[in-house]
Structure 1
Amino acid sequence: MEKAGLSSAFFFTFTPPKQTTMDFLLSDLSWYQITLLALCAMLSGMSKVGVPGVSMIVVPILAIIFGGKQSTGVLLPILMMADLFGVLYYRRHAQWSYVLKIVPWAFIGIGLALWVGEVVNDEQFKNIIAILVFLCIGLMLWQDRKRGKQFFPDRWWFAASMGILGGFATMIGNVAGPIFAIYLLAMHLPKNSFIGTSAWFFLIVNYCKFPLHIFIWKTISWQSLALDFCTLPAIALGAFLGIKLVKVLPEKIYRTAVIVLTALSAFLLLV
């Protein structure tokens, strides 16, 4: 694997692993790539305990390091481990009626994404991820402007559209968070119920996606799982920091930084 100099930006110098499946270990990555992977794992842990949107920057970074489609297989087990922290912390606050209403539609979106993932090349896959990230950023900004207003009715077609779009986004790039947030905000859930319902939804969806990545897309292998398990301490640290930060960090400053960095990372996927 080609080693990039420290003076060069990793976005433009890193060559993804040559293997057709995820057959690589920590030894195949440079120290700063390992650092970025650990940072992504920590941010994923933070996102599952109530720090909204922070994991959005993870998706473009991993796509740049590992390639578009393959990065989804690296990220999914990290999210699955992080989901457990979110569910354990907010397990009593889920509103199951909203979860059950949207999950069947999400599976339709996942099926659509499976087909798309088989017919596009990696460059097109990264472009789709970038477009979805920009779409989700737009949804985040829009929901901020509409906060406190009942801008959607509680109708079956709303749950269906959000479920299909969210299922597609979560399978293609693990970026369904803002889409599901729009759905829950429309239901006017309290903060803890919002986080608990979201945690259970993504635990169910992510664990159902796991065999699809193994047997259909072949983006998860024993080697990639070993790599992911090495990030567990970073995930746990992120969950701990997330619980603390959500209480003290000014939301406006935090959200602005996340949106700017995420938009920059998504833009780099397109160049």
Structure 2
Amino acid sequence: MITLFSFHFTTAQLFIFFLVAVFVGMSKTGVHGTGMVAVPLLASVFGGQLSSGIMLPMLCLADVMGVWYYHRHASWEHLKKLFPWAVIGTILGTVVGGMIDDHIFRMIMAVIIVGSVVIMLWLERGHKEDIPDYKWFAGLTGTAGGFTSMVGNLAGSVMAVYFLSMRLPKNSFIGTTAWFFMVMNWFKIPFHVFAWHTISWHTFLLDLTMLPLIAIGAFLGVFIVSKIPERMYRWFIIGMTLVAAFMMLV
């Protein structure tokens, strides 16, 4: 066993934790689905709710990197519609998340991800105009995004549905997503500290040791995204989301 800040790991668990850190960095610089793959991986080491608290500071550190690189491409028109509803969803997620066990957590997240993939595929099959750019749709998506982000750090699939349906180009998609999650992830910290008690000094120090791997993942993400054509990027997001759903179910 290997001990880091009062946490005990097998060699395999520590490798998974290192891989999660790289995936988190990649997810914030455009390799969107890796963040959703990281969630079930980390849950396999720490369990559902605790893994949410351990991952959150890692996400916050990676968010800064993503915003630093893509901040010029954000669509604030869409963000202003989403933020108030995402706050409501976060509060709702705090209440509900404290009542569910790991099994229910995994089932809820899997259903949400699979549903998001179905909608993404439906949009790509020639129904792009069927999702309206209306306030009610932003409200529904923002609430769902805040809820899933709080419960399991898995709002990526929900927000991908919204931003893809708004037909944002690649860089604008990444920049807008980066700003959304940086604001919401930092907003979630007090709920994890004072309501769920899943972030402590020990978990923060543990996350801080992952910073070099998060940075490697972030630079790797920038390189990979630069090589993916615009249309192929949309299908890449869908494919990675589907992988995350499969991992959550098994």
| 1:86 equivalent in alignment to 2:75 | no
Answer whether contact 2:113 2:158 (CA < 8 A) is retained: no
Q: Greater Rg, structure 1 or structure 2?
A: 1
Aligned partner of 1:266 in structure 2 is 248
TM-score normalised by structure 1 residue count: 0.82
2:203 paired residue among 224, 231, 249: 224
* 2:217 matches 1:238: yes
- CA RMSD of superposed structures (Å): 2.4
Q: Which runs of 5+ in 1 are unaligned?
A: 4-22
What is the Cα deviation at residue 175 of structure 1? 0.8
Are 1:63 and 2:40 counterparts? no
Aligned counterparts of 1:120 and 1:86: Cα–Cα separation in 2? 32
C-alpha separation between the residues in 1 aligned to 2:112 and 2:37? 12
Q: Decide which moves more: 251-260 or 114-123.
A: 251-260
2:168 counterpart of 1:154: no
Residue 187 (structure 2) aligns with: 208
Structure-1 separation of matches of 2:239 and 2:169: 25
Q: State the Cα distance separating 1:48 from its structure 2 match.
A: 0.9
Q: 1:120 aligns to what SS in structure 2?
A: coil
C-alpha displacement of 1:261? 3.9
The equivalent of 2:18 in structure 1 is: 38
Judged with a 3 Å threshold, the aligned counterparts in structure 2 of structure 1 residues 25 and 130 are, in CA distance, closer, same or farther, namely farther
Listed one character per residue, the Cα deviations across residues 148-178 of structure 1 (whole Å, up to 9, x for unaligned) are x323111110111001111111111111112
- Give unmatched runs, 5+ long, in structure 2: none
Q: Give a deviation string over 1:199-237, Cα, whole Å, max 9, x none.
A: 111000000001110000100111111111111111111
Distance 1:129 1:60 in 2: 10
Distance apart, 1:240 and its partner CA: 0.9
CA 141–235 in structure 1, closer or farther in 2 if over 3 Å, else same = farther
TM-score, structure 2 length as denominator? 0.89
Number of equivalences = 247
Query: What's the secondary structure of 1:63's corresponding residue?
Result: helix
Higher share in helix:
2
> Is the Cα contact below 8 Å between 2:114 and 2:242 reproduced in 1?
no
Corresponding residue for residue 115 of structure 2: 135
Q: Are positions 1:197 and 2:157 aligned together?
A: no
- CA-to-partner distance for each residue in 1:17-48, whole Å, 9 max, x for gaps? xxxxxx97376112221111111111111111
Instruction: Check conservation: 2:24, 2:38, Cα contact below 8 A.
Output: yes
Greater mean alpha carbon deviation, residues 29-38 or residues 196-205: 29-38
The structural deviation recorded for 1:256 is: 7.6
CA distance 1:29–1:144, change in 2 (3 Å): farther
Which residue matches 2:165?
A: 186
User: Distance between the aligned counterparts of 1:179 and 1:58, measured in 2?
Assistant: 16
- TM-superposed CA distance for 1:191, in Å, is 1.9
Deviations for 1:24-77, whole angstroms, at most 9, x for unmatched residues? 737611222111111111111111111121211111111121011111001111
Q: State the shift of 1:142 in Å.
A: 3.7
Deviation at 1:140? 4.2
Please give the alpha-carbon distance, in whole angstroms, between the structure 2 residues aligned to 1:257 and 1:183: 17
Tell me the residue number matched to 2:52.
72
AA aligned to 2:42 is L
Residue 197 (structure 1) shift: 1.0
